Amino acid sequence: MAQRFYITTAIAYPNGRPHMGHAYEVITTDVIARYRRLRGDEVRFLTGTDEHGLKIAQAARAEGVDPRAYVDRMVEPFRAMDAQLGISFDRFIRTTDADHKALCQALWQRMAANGDLYLDRYEGWYSVRDEAYYDESELIDGTDSAGKAVRLSPQGTPVEWTIEESWFFRLSAYGDRLLALYDGDPDFIQPASRRNEMRAFVAQGLRDLSMSRTSFDWGVPVPGSPGHVMYVWVDALANYLTGAGGRADELCGEWWPADLHVVGKDVVRFHTIYWPAFLMSAGVALPKRVFGHGHVLNRGEKMSKSVGNVVDPMAMAEVFGVDRLRWFLCRDVAFGEDGSYSDEAIVERCNADLANGIGNLAQRALAMVAKGHGGAMPAAGAGGEGEAALAEALARGTADYLAAMDALAIHRGLEAVMGMVSAANGYFAASAPWTMKQDLAAQGSVLAHALDASRRIALLVQPVMPASAAALLDQLGVAAGARSLADLDARVPAGTPLPPPQGVFPRWAPLA
């Protein structure tokens, strides 16, 4: 029976254009989703946008448009990016979707019914200009026009001690249960370094959480409490329930609980402390795992407008091709850690792995088949030591790949695949089929073994490079219905006509 797998990305905050960080998250999550499908799992993949909150309201107002109109426009580049990058989501959720609003309010009422929400006052240093509270430690000292010493926000705007009515969530009551969760299931938070941080955070004691705002209205209204909108994270996190098919009358949709939330390391806290606490309060099952990925840096530097290194992932995909970008990000960046990218690194990596490795392996065998074997898959003989060694390397590589992918070590999985490529190219060179012109059967056998290695490799890289892998499998004569993990040992029958070879992974010429 097919296993069900519900996977999500964090939802993006569309107060700007999508950047490489967004692309990285949806790509890696897509790879995992496709991998599960390849394994035969029944997958639900959710992604989308987080459209409420102060910053959106401010940005909309700055443009003099309605917030709804603003987000309707801002969401489009995110959709376009997903389409361009081949993101195979099942639903693109927007927190402004009608079904989501209803679910949020139901979730709220469940938490309230459990006695975890209470009305109190939130006090703090508030900047009217920024419409935001700041912690004492964030304030800087300055002087006003009269030369008097005053306290300023990090943006240099004046702040004043303000008291606002707010709903609070009894987060403080959940510390022990959260610690028990982390300790009872070490995989709940990954990587381990993040788990340690979150554990330390909880262990130091939790304060109750301000759950509503009255200073602006762009959010989900708190039921029965006019003037209050929900703290944006309540609304944002709840998207995973809505996306699972949850409704106001039944919070748990058919896909809940999530098997995996893939999120950036910067939002791990919200997903591993607030979110489980909310769910515990509402009496809803917890997600099984939260994975905090690292950030990808442009040449090792954080992207910033002042440095002038903000990269548009769509332009990048345009230049290099979607699959090259996907391959690079998955192969060159250790999943869970920060990584770095540059044009040079992408070209280098893709030329080495794709053009010289995977592509060349297929091409050298296919060319000989086209030339000397009438363009039909030759018969594979029983083979000798060389074939046995190759088979063993392929089996080991496949096992390593599966283990790594199951453990979310995507980069390790691809490393294992490259080991298979290396073994196959080694086998080809050692067998030297081009010297067997006098014995076409022997030559054909070597080619068949090499092509089968290519087939196995192409099968495994499908999650990362869907389009290229499909093109390669076409070249290899693999039937459309024989491309899942279950077909790993299904060799292409001898005699199968193979189309004229065409390089799937052309070498990238030196940058101009």
Partner RNA sequence: GGCAGCGUAGCUCAGUUGGUGAGAGCGCCGGAUUCAUAACCCGGAGGUCGGCAGUUCAAAUCUGCCCGCUGCUACCA
Size of the site for RNA (CB under 7 A): 61
Token pair recorded at residue 358: 């995977």
Say whether residue 229 binds RNA (CB under 7 A): no
H/E/C letters for each residue in 301-354?
Answer: ECCCCCCCCCCCHHHHHHHHCHHHHHHHHHHHCCCCCCEEECHHHHHHHHHHHH
Say whether residue 218 binds RNA (CB under 7 A): no
Supply φ then ψ for residue 114, to 5 degrees. Answer: -85, 0
* Binders of RNA in range 271-330 (CB under 7 A): none
* Binders of RNA in range 189-208 (CB under 7 A): 193, 196-197, 200-201, 204-208
Tell me which of 189, 347, 368, 377 binds RNA, using CB under 7 A.
368
Nearest to RNA of 50, 400 (CB atom): 50
Say whether residue 134 binds RNA (CB under 7 A): yes
Say whether residue 164 binds RNA (CB under 7 A): no
- The SS3 of residue 43 is strand
Say whether residue 13 binds RNA (CB under 7 A): yes
Say whether residue 393 binds RNA (CB under 7 A): no
Name the one range near RNA by CB under 7 A: 59-67, 232-240, 243-251, 374-382: 232-240
Say whether residue 167 binds RNA (CB under 7 A): no
Name the one range near RNA by CB under 7 A: 144-152, 229-237, 453-461, 479-487: 229-237
Say whether residue 342 binds RNA (CB under 7 A): no
Binding to RNA by CB under 7 A, coded x per residue (else -) over 90-129, reads --------------------------------x-------
Say whether residue 14 binds RNA (CB under 7 A): no
Tell me which of 177, 434, 493, 499 binds RNA, using CB under 7 A.
434
Name the one range near RNA by CB under 7 A: 28-36, 111-119, 420-428, 490-498: 420-428
- Round to whole Å and give the CA distance between 136 and 44: 43
Tell me which of 38, 132, 457, 469 binds RNA, using CB under 7 A.
132
- Round to whole Å and give the CA distance between 98 and 349: 44
The H or E element containing residue 49 is strand 42-49
Which CA distances in Å does 269 have to 11, 34, 199? 15, 27, 10
Query: Cβ contacts of residue 238 below 8 Å, gap of 6+?
Result: 100, 103, 104, 107, 278
- Round to whole Å and give the CA distance between 352 and 361: 12
Query: Cβ contacts of residue 269 below 8 Å, gap of 6+?
Result: 198, 201
* Binders of RNA in range 24-43 (CB under 7 A): none
- Strand 229-230 versus strand 212-213 pairing type: antiparallel
Name the one range near RNA by CB under 7 A: 77-85, 228-236, 393-401, 485-493: 228-236
